[in-house]
Amino acid sequence: MIQIRPIPDLQNDYNSIENSILENDQTIYLTKNGYGTMVIMSIQKYEKLMTKAEYNQYIENALDEAEKEA
């Protein structure tokens, strides 16, 4: 079942959202002013969606960014 929640729920009900995502392997769609803006999912679910090469490239880019900022 798709869960759609307003963005303020992230601040007001974070623990419930986190539990739904981690324990029930759910993806939650967030809305702002009635329009979809973001999707939240577990890291494990996200990794499954990406191919291994995409994931490795993403990590490499993230590490490069962090190195530039340091």
> How far apart are the C-alpha atoms of 31 and 55, rounded to whole Å?
27
Can you give the pLDDT at residue 4?
Answer: 94
Banded pLDDT at 5 (limits 50, 70, 90): very high
> How far apart are the C-alpha atoms of 60 and 38, rounded to whole Å?
24
Prediction pTM value: 0.68
pLDDT of 15 strictly over 90: yes
* pLDDT average, residue stretch 13-22: 93
> How far apart are the C-alpha atoms of 49 and 24, rounded to whole Å?
17
pLDDT of 10 strictly over 80: yes
Reported as a single tens digit per residue, the pLDDT across 20-53 is 899 988 999 999 999 999 999 999 888 888 887 8
